[in-house]
Amino acid sequence: MNVAPFDRAARIGVVPVIAIPSADYAEPLADALLEGGLPIAEITFRTEAAAEAMARVSETRPDLLMGAGTVLSVDAVSSAVAAGATFGLAPGFDPEVVAAADAAGLPFAPGIMTPSDISLATARGCRLMKFFPAMAAGGPDMLKNISAPFLHLGLTFIPTGGVTQDNMHEWLSLPIIAAVGGTWIAKPADIEAGDWAGITARARHAVERVDEIRG
């Protein structure tokens, strides 16, 4: 499995999760993130515009490491690859989706929330997993506990769901965390309002926090 994009994501340490209302926002959004020193985005299949937005970003902003989120089906894997996504994530674990991503050469992180999920995902070869919904499921303490029996397998996690600027330090200080993710950097309302300066400011602030926490 090609893990290079996830290595890059782990080095960056924070992944903005995007629900984009229209593909017309793709370029200004990518520019706002790049301007803030955050060259990564997870564009989720939560909106109709997702595939077109991904295609525009991959064609016109190759410096942005662009992944597909909310990949819930085999078709979504194909759409993500066709649109130039270089990695994929999902909120849950679906073995058919993981197999399709593998077959397509798309590095993929399924979502997990229980030891059973982790067990199923590791058996399918996954080593990076999204922990979702991270805060509602019990926060860092929960993840530490459920992952403990699997750590000899070299697992790392991206917690999302309730993760923000204010609690990211609780996660990033754990060695099992590859990166944190969340929507707080670029909410759909910010995107629709064209608040690119606000998105850039939150992106920059998040990158600075990662640097402070990781030293």
Ligand X SMILES: O=C(O)C(=O)C[C@H](O)[C@H](O)COP(=O)(O)O
Catalytic residues: 42, 130
Q: Does residue 111 belong to the site contacting ligand X (CB under 6 A)?
A: yes
CA atoms within 13 A on the CB side of 163: 29
Q: Does residue 16 belong to the site contacting ligand X (CB under 6 A)?
A: no
Q: Does residue 161 belong to the site contacting ligand X (CB under 6 A)?
A: yes
Q: Does residue 162 belong to the site contacting ligand X (CB under 6 A)?
A: yes
Q: Does residue 69 belong to the site contacting ligand X (CB under 6 A)?
A: yes
Q: How far apart are CA 179 and CA 39, in angstroms?
A: 14
Other beta carbons less than 10 A from residue 118's beta carbon: 24
Q: Phi, psi at residue 179, to the nearest 5°?
A: -165, 160
Region binding ligand X by CB under 6 A among candidate stretches 29-37, 86-94, 120-128, 197-205: 86-94
Q: How far is the CB of 143 from ligand X (least distance, A)?
A: 15
Which of helix, strand or coil describes residue 14? strand
Q: How far is the CB of 152 from ligand X (least distance, A)?
A: 26
Q: Does residue 182 belong to the site contacting ligand X (CB under 6 A)?
A: yes
Q: How far apart are CA 62 and CA 39, in angstroms?
A: 10
Instruction: Tell whether the torsion through CA atoms of 71, 77, 82 and 88 is positive or negative.
Output: positive
Q: Does residue 202 belong to the site contacting ligand X (CB under 6 A)?
A: no
- Give the binding site for ligand X (CB under 6 A): 17, 44, 46, 69-70, 89-91, 111, 130, 132, 160-163, 181-184
